[in-house]
A and B are shown apart, each in its own frame.
Chain A
């Protein structure tokens, strides 16, 4: 069943269109930066953006910071919202279930195909932005490794080896996958509740937007640590020296709790649901 879900994901033109759009955003930003050479003032604009002008190798990290807050969660919410509701409204859900595919296995396969999508999207963005970065900004040729940008590390002159950079990028990818799984779990749960994929995606986005607003609201400080988007940008801490684990651990923990609760709810709901569509 997992193979079938993956085949469905990668045989669908939609998957590539979304990935291409995700890649297009950092590319556009890079072209503007490279032609004007006007860096955003330190502390403003996306993380790493002012640093990439001197070192293109950091551009993948900057690209992550660009797509993560809005673009990536939107695409994950759309796909996850469509996962069950889309099959129901296309009339294929009932044919899968009588094949038979057990409802639990179907849900697990859907989740795994969402992970595959997130990985595919992130890797596409990383690869294209790395190439863009090197082509447009060039690489600083210091053999000692990559200098971490001061606006992120608040320490200038720290350098990490290319292997270290790769490791940190790997950690970033893992952290973003976990964050996006939280989004996927919300949308997947709603997808088992309604037969409208648009409704499920909308619902998940409403949760995220509300969470984003509350994160910045001091009056909501009491619940801030439990908001799903609170630690989304904590992956930046992978690029500090030494790596600052506190927020990363908390963020991953919160996402895992959301994941467990919402998947449990989705599972319980889907298992007892009348498939009358």
Chain B
């Protein structure tokens, strides 16, 4: 769906995006993670033909971008760095104008299309209030409705849950889930780990303009070769397993072991009560922290 090769964008001397090799496959739920200022938004803008690359190639839906961007865009719904709307007009009028601006989409069905999109994002009941008076969450939903007007094959969403409350975030995630099951490829960028962790199946990590990691989430969350064990008598576990206990935190112990089943049997056979036992897996947070260096909004003293 999206393939980039050696994609680079420079602004003067700063390199915003550096030799990125992105690959998003059809049907993916791709999450682009990275701290603020790591180049996510610039990358998204290049995919949409808003910003022109300094070097490298982009292919979206099988066509070169920005050369044939006009053929690609009608099949894409996008939200780029916050929603944009005309503040003095109502949400419905805004969507109608945006719908009329783009090619395709019959005029006759316009009212219906706008209503459908509003309903999908939970704004079916909006009145004639101007967007000026909307809350941030409502604006975000309106932006999402705009992205859904043409039933896109590919959704490119930059920070889609910005400004939403926890319930709103959940609703949007369910909506994206539903769209993905209907066949829409979803590419979203976020600096929120939890959001990507809960929704995505594939993740890319950006750090200072570079794509430092790109992999399926399931293989990232591989077992670490350790098992966590909970027991009301941790000292007995330590005595039994001797040097294999790597870490102890109250009643929870981390044991170097490959198979929680076998370990459980061993402990129970020795008469140790086991309250919890599980394979330890790498968390996405750990993966990201390992892959990135420093928060880019941190400004260190030189030298």
Q: Do the beta carbons of A3 and B88 come within 8 Å of each other?
A: no
What is the 8 Å Cβ interface bit string for chain A, positions 1-45, against chain B (1 contact, 0 not)?
Answer: 101100110011100000000000000000000000000000000
B87 partner residues in chain A, CB cutoff 8 A: 90
CB < 8 Å: which of B73, B86, B100, B103 contacts A92?
Answer: B86
B31 partner residues in chain A, CB cutoff 8 A: none
Count the A residues whose beta carbon is within 8 Å of the partner chain — how many?
Answer: 25
Q: B80 contacts the other chain (Cβ, under 8 Å)?
A: yes
Q: Give residues of chain B (166-211) contacting chain A, Cβ–Cβ below 8 Å.
A: none
CB < 8 Å: which of B84, B85, B101 contacts A4?
Answer: B101
CB < 8 Å: which of A8, A90, A98 contacts B73?
Answer: A98
Measured between alpha carbons, how far is A91 from B123 in the docked complex, in Å?
21
Q: B289 contacts the other chain (Cβ, under 8 Å)?
A: no
Q: Do the beta carbons of A91 and B83 come within 8 Å of each other?
A: yes
B84 partner residues in chain A, CB cutoff 8 A: 90-95
Q: A102 contacts the other chain (Cβ, under 8 Å)?
A: yes
What is the 8 Å Cβ interface bit string for chain B, positions 44-80, against chain A (1 contact, 0 not)?
Answer: 0100111110000000000000000110011010101
Q: A99 contacts the other chain (Cβ, under 8 Å)?
A: yes
Q: Give residues of chain B (94-127) contacting chain A, Cβ–Cβ below 8 Å.
A: 97-98, 100-103
CB < 8 Å: which of B51, B74, B81 contacts A274?
Answer: B51
Q: Do the beta carbons of B45 and A96 come within 8 Å of each other?
A: no
Q: A213 contacts the other chain (Cβ, under 8 Å)?
A: no
Measured between alpha carbons, how far is A96 from B78 in the docked complex, in Å?
11
Q: A257 contacts the other chain (Cβ, under 8 Å)?
A: no
CB < 8 Å: which of B42, B76, B98, B143 contacts A96?
Answer: B98
A275 to chain B, nearest CB (A): 4
Q: Do the beta carbons of A92 and B85 come within 8 Å of each other?
A: yes
Measured between alpha carbons, how far is A90 from B89 in the docked complex, in Å?
13
Residue of B nearest to A97 (CB): B50
What is the 8 Å Cβ interface bit string for chain A, positions 167-190, against chain B (1 contact, 0 not)?
Answer: 000000000000000000000000
Count the B residues whose beta carbon is within 8 Å of the partner chain — how many?
Answer: 32
The answer to whether residues A99 and B50 also contact, given A12-B88, A13-B88, A90-B86 and a CB cut-off of 8 A, is no
Measured between alpha carbons, how far is A95 from B102 in the docked complex, in Å?
10
Q: B93 contacts the other chain (Cβ, under 8 Å)?
A: yes
Q: B146 contacts the other chain (Cβ, under 8 Å)?
A: yes
Q: Do the beta carbons of B146 and A272 come within 8 Å of each other?
A: no
Told that A8-B86, A96-B101 touch, could you supply 20 new A-B pairs with CB distance under 8 A?
A1-B101, A4-B97, A13-B88, A90-B84, A90-B86, A92-B85, A95-B143, A95-B146, A97-B48, A99-B98, A99-B102, A100-B69, A100-B70, A100-B74, A101-B101, A101-B102, A272-B52, A274-B50, A274-B51, A276-B50
Provide 27 A-B residue pairs closer than 8 Å at the C-beta atoms, listed in order of the A residue: A4-B97, A7-B100, A11-B89, A11-B93, A91-B81, A91-B84, A91-B85, A94-B45, A94-B50, A95-B84, A95-B146, A97-B48, A97-B49, A97-B50, A98-B49, A98-B50, A98-B78, A98-B80, A99-B98, A99-B101, A100-B69, A100-B73, A100-B74, A100-B103, A101-B102, A272-B52, A275-B51
